[in-house]
Amino acid sequence: MHYKFIRLLNGFRLILAPMPARNSTSVSVWVKTGGRYESLNELGISHFIEHLVFRGTDNRDALEIKQSIEGIGGHLNAFTSEECTCFYAKTPPRYASRAIDVLSDMALNPLINNSDIIKEKGIVKEEIRMYKDMPQHHVHDLLHEIMWPKHPLGQPLAGTCKSVDKLNRKAIKRYHQGYYNPGNMVIVVSGKIDAERVLSKVKSIYTKLKNRPSGKYIQFKPSQTKAATKLSNKKTEQTHLLLGYHTPKRNSRTRYALSVLSIILGGNMSSRLFERVREQKGLAYQISSSLRKFDETGAIIIDAGVKNKKMLESISIIFNELSLIKKEFVTKRELSDAKEFICGQLVLHLDSTINNALWIGEKILLNDDVINIKEIIKKIKAVEADELLHIAQNIFKTENLNLAIIGPVSSNKNAILKRVRNFA
């Protein structure tokens, strides 16, 4: 897929991703800030601003923002992660300029008034309470807390009810001004595009803006020397467990092999964990493996919801599979199928204009050094079984193990800790 990169004099970046056969245009506006940029006094502020901009801008009230996109059959949304904030829209092609205008207005010109802040605090606190009542979600917060202790990566993205209550207009405006500036932003336009018209629109909005230095985040320095656990005893219908291991940074040379390893372990319905835990033993409805990727660190995470009475058996089976994959080569069939799955999923994913706008935007914003799809597929296809064995041996160690569980675990605490200590 062809991408055209344009950098304005003030550092603002525009990426055009033409997909002329599509009947839609998607726009994503990215800001390089998120949960890991926050101090403890600002916890949840990135996510709060993402909410607040929908309340109104200097040019549109809240209803006008929504109607301007939904009134033309479009879709409008936003999200916050540890390292970025994104506002995006998908519209019919003739409304691409409107999407650029609305999203840019939201990002650059939010009202940030006290009455809106008060209203949004109530909404965000209800969101925090909702996720705390969902053990399959809250268990992720517990895992992050022990994997990245006393570090912003280990804090909940939405903050806490207490931290949200402390946010005020002055702090919010200061944070917004510190990060929402042209050198810290990227816009991607994907789909059926009138390139000249898009460029003209972007220039009319962003050229006049002055760039300012943006804040930096605290680097994570790994120091784990022994297994860590976080066990939360709660009466639940099933036990929710997460098993996490630290992995190298986002742009590590091992990242393609890690992706293949994760797929073989639990990345789809053909994976080892899905077959063993769900299909053969019937212990879980959901079990999977996934990767978290950050600038200087990462993680491979196994996620499962299992029968309460079969929790110990499930942990033992997962540990057995991890021990096996670092002792023996994966089969040729497993390796081939995992590669084809990753490459096929990537191509299918990017067949959508909105997915394309989000994929390329995140890569550019976070300085991913490989954005050519053909090159990525080539690197995936080049992964060998001995690489997977070497990576598994380096990652799946007892001293790199982190286990978080929510469920009726009090009577099994000692047995859980014994299995963790005996993992090899």
Any idea which residues carry the catalytic annotation?
A: 50
Dmax over CA atoms of the chain, in Å, equals: 66
Residue 154: CA count within 13 A, CB half-sphere: 19
Quickly list H helices, 109-168. 114-132, 135-147, 161-166
Residues 6+ apart with CB under 8 A from 400: 224, 245, 246
Q: Distance between the two ends of the chain, CA-based, in angstroms?
A: 44
Q: Which long-range contacts (CB under 8 A, 24 or more apart) does 345-350 make?
A: 346/373, 346/376, 346/377, 347/373, 350/1
Strands 239-247 and 401-407: antiparallel
Q: What count of other Cβ atoms lies within 10 Å of the Cβ of residue 54?
A: 18
Q: Are 259 and 342 in contact (CB under 8 A)?
A: yes
Q: Using the structure block, give the residue that is written with the tokens 């309470």.
A: 129
Q: b/e map of 203-213 (b: 16 or more CB within 10 Å)?
A: eebbeebeeee
Tokens of 261: 């390893």
Residues 6+ apart with CB under 8 A from 339: 260, 380, 381, 383
**DSSP output for 355-424:** HHHHHHHHHHHTT-S---HHHHHHHHHT--HHHHHHHHHHHS-GGGEEEEEEES-GGGHHHHHHHHHT--
* Pairwise CA distance, residues 343 & 355, whole Å: 15
Q: Are 235 and 408 in contact (CB under 8 A)?
A: yes
Beta strands in 273-376 (DSSP E): 284-293, 298-306
- 213 three-class SS: coil
